[in-house]
């Protein structure tokens, strides 16, 4: 005995006695029998409110059509034996960038390779940021068409607003495209946004963006960085002896992030907006959000897998350059405390398929960002279980909470009768080593190269279809566009109305 319990023991949460529903083999009339498409048999199924349950899942027409006892005689055209593996709601990556220019997916590879990475890691839905200086009227349909051709997973979009015209069009984007979450870059002062074709903004612009979102049931996902402090600190001497990631962290210290996040959170309260702090990387930024949350509840926190698993001491070199930077051990530990107590709502990847030729440079000239969607579920789940974070909270952070905050619940983010059959099947008894090949991304590297993960994703089902089966990707892709009419507080209120399965 002694030492922390392994993932397997930790995952053995309360033995559930779930209400078994659906999947009756007969409707009572003679000769009329429902034949389901698929039966996932012998798994331990995560059910909200009751934890892991020894039940079988039935799937028909892409939906969960029954949750039945293992001795039920419900019929299915195919029975898949799971031998005690975990059956979780498919993970949702709320933070992805696609496209060679990081703005918009354009080529078939942008969708196919990067969503393959996601599906191989148990992701069944992703939310992709679209960035353009132009109106989005043609940008959205173009991106949607590219994704629908080649996406393994379901997908929605966030829109980056940078001009007054964009803010004016927020109600139309919600109405026409079902896009209800909007990012803006607090650091785009002066010419800082020029590379994306976006004009400079200020706190008056932020006030307009937040007010418009509040009036329309939308949420704002600000990039929080005080660029004036970054400019000021630029010429400060940096100690490069502690490695490239430490140097990058010194150049953009965490108070730069924390100051910006507390400012936008304060303005959220003034305007009544919902604000979702993307890629929270530091103890200071998390504490700033916690302080603001004491007086105003519609504030939400995302972190990313890299801030939960990497520190400036990691040996991935410039592959690990990202904004905000990889931080110190104390930051990582405080984010895990936030994961456990729920003050961190969600985990995303900030996936960005920058090719390795742009990364194999010194820390000052390498591009920022790296691919990570494939690691969100395996890394968060394995590290979280090792640390004793309850499975319920890990499922919430990697799936349910994103579904609720971004207007996808209960279609997504839960296993219940009538929900999309989006499923990740995880084997706690097998391990794998992360490398560029396991990640499938066009970027051709991963900052987690060589990391051994003590579990593996075996199957990923998107609306009942295997995107990944026995660890192998399907040939066909089936991802569809997700309309999301509301986000933030408005979406949470609607999710509440749906209640939990009885």
Supply the minimum distance, in Å, between the C-beta of residue 276 and Zn ion. 12
Of 40 and 277, nearer to Zn ion (C-beta) is 277
Whole-angstrom CA distances from 326 to 131, 223, 316 are 24, 16, 11
Q: What is the per-residue burial (b if ≥16 Cβ within 10 Å, else e) of 3-35?
A: eeeebeebbeeeebebebbbbeeeeeeeeeebe
Site track for Zn ion across 455-474, x = CB under 5 A: --------------------
Of 65 and 125, nearer to Zn ion (C-beta) is 125
Of 56 and 350, nearer to Zn ion (C-beta) is 350
Q: How many CB atoms lie within 10 A of CB 411?
A: 19
- Residues 400/48, Cβ–Cβ less than 8 Å: yes
Residues in contact with Zn ion, counted by CB under 5 A, come to a total of 1
Supply the minimum distance, in Å, between the C-beta of residue 64 and Zn ion. 32
Separation of alpha carbons 372 and 396, rounded Å? 19
Supply the minimum distance, in Å, between the C-beta of residue 102 and Zn ion. 9
DSSP state string for 434-498: --HHHH--TT---TTTT-EESSEEEEEEETTEEEEETTEE-SS----B------THHHHHHHHHH
- Residues 122/115, Cβ–Cβ less than 8 Å: no
Whole-angstrom CA distances from 40 to 12, 43, 153 are 19, 7, 20
Which region, judged by CB under 5 A, interacts with Zn ion, from 83-91, 231-239, 245-253, 350-358?
350-358
Of 130 and 397, nearer to Zn ion (C-beta) is 130
Supply the minimum distance, in Å, between the C-beta of residue 295 and Zn ion. 28
Separation of alpha carbons 226 and 407, rounded Å? 30
Supply the minimum distance, in Å, between the C-beta of residue 146 and Zn ion. 19
Of 131 and 408, nearer to Zn ion (C-beta) is 131
Supply the minimum distance, in Å, between the C-beta of residue 86 and Zn ion. 29
User: What is the token pair recorded at 390?
Assistant: 């309850």
Q: Is 93 in the site for Zn ion (CB under 5 A)?
A: no
Whole-angstrom CA distances from 304 to 259, 319, 394, 398, 405 are 19, 16, 13, 10, 16
Which region, judged by CB under 5 A, interacts with Zn ion, from 20-28, 189-197, 246-254, 344-352?
344-352
Which region, judged by CB under 5 A, interacts with Zn ion, from 59-67, 160-168, 348-356, 472-480?
348-356
Which region, judged by CB under 5 A, interacts with Zn ion, from 57-65, 109-117, 342-350, 396-404?
342-350
Site track for Zn ion across 224-263, x = CB under 5 A: ----------------------------------------
Looking at the DSSP bridge assignments, the partners of residue 76 are 36
Supply the minimum distance, in Å, between the C-beta of residue 97 and Zn ion. 6
Q: Is 350 in the site for Zn ion (CB under 5 A)?
A: yes
Q: Is 192 in the site for Zn ion (CB under 5 A)?
A: no
CA 307 vs. chain centroid, Å, equals 14
Supply the minimum distance, in Å, between the C-beta of residue 95 and Zn ion. 6
Residue number of the CB atom closest to Zn ion: 350
DSSP state string for 126-149: EEEEE--SS-TTTHHHHHHHHHHH
Of 259 and 350, nearer to Zn ion (C-beta) is 350
Of 280 and 456, nearer to Zn ion (C-beta) is 280
- Residues 405/382, Cβ–Cβ less than 8 Å: no
Hunting for tokens 């609720």 — which residue is that? 404
Which residues of this chain interact with Zn ion, rule CB under 5 A? 350
């Amino acid at each position: 005995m002694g030492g922390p319990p392994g993932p397997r023991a930790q995952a053995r949460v309360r033995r559930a006695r779930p209400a078994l529903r659906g999947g009756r083999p007969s409707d009572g009339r003679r000769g009329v029998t429902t034949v389901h498409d698929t039966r996932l048999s012998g798994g331990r199924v995560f059910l909200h409110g009751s934890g892991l349950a020894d039940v079988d899942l039935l799937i028909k027409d892409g939906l969960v059509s029954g949750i039945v006892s293992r001795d039920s005689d419900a019929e299915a055209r195919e029975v898949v034996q799971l031998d005690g593996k975990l059956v979780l709601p498919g993970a949702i990556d709320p933070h992805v960038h696609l496209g060679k220019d990081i703005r918009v997916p354009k080529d078939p590879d942008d969708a196919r390779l990067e969503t393959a990475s996601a599906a191989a890691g148990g992701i069944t839905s992703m939310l992709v940021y679209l960035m353009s200086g132009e109106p989005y009227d043609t940008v959205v349909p173009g991106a949607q068409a590219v994704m629908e051709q080649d996406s393994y997973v379901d997908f929605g979009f966030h829109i980056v607003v940078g001009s007054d015209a964009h803010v004016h069009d927020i109600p139309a984007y919600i109405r026409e495209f079902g896009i209800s979450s909007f990012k803006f870059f607090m650091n785009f002062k002066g010419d800082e946004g020029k590379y994306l074709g976006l004009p400079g903004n200020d706190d008056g612009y932020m006030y307009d963006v937040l007010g418009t979102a509040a009036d329309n049931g939308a949420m704002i996902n600000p990039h929080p960085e005080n660029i004036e402090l970054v400019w000021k600190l630029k010429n400060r001497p940096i100690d490069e002896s502690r490695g490239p990631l430490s140097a990058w962290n010194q150049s953009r210290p965490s108070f730069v992030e924390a100051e910006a996040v507390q400012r936008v959170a304060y303005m959220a309260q003034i305007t009544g907006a919902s604000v979702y702090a993307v890629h929270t990387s530091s103890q200071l930024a998390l504490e700033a959000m916690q302080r603001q949350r004491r007086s105003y509840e519609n504030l939400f926190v995302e972190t990313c897998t890299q801030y939960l698993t990497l520190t400036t001491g990691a040996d991935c070199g410039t592959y690990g350059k990202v904004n905000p930077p990889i931080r110190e051990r104390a930051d990582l530990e405080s984010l895990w405390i936030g994961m456990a107590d729920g003050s961190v709502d969600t985990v995303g990847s900030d996936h960005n398929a920058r090719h390795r030729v742009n990364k194999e440079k010194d820390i000052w000239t390498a591009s920022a960002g790296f691919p990570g969607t494939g690691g969100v579920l395996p890394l968060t789940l394995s590290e979280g279980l090792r640390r004793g974070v309850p499975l319920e909270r890990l499922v919430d952070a990697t799936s349910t909470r994103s579904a609720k905050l971004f207007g996808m619940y209960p279609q997504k983010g839960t296993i219940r009768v009538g929900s999309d059959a989006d499923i990740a099947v995880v084997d706690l008894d097998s391990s794998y080593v992360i490398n560029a090949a396991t990640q499938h991304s066009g970027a051709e590297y991963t900052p987690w190269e060589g990391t051994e993960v003590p579990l593996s994703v075996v199957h990923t089902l998107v609306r009942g279809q295997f995107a990944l089966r026995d660890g192998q990707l399907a040939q066909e892709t089936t991802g569809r566009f997700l309309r999301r009419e509301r986000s933030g507080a408005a979406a949470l209120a609607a999710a509440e109305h749906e209640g939990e399965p009885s």
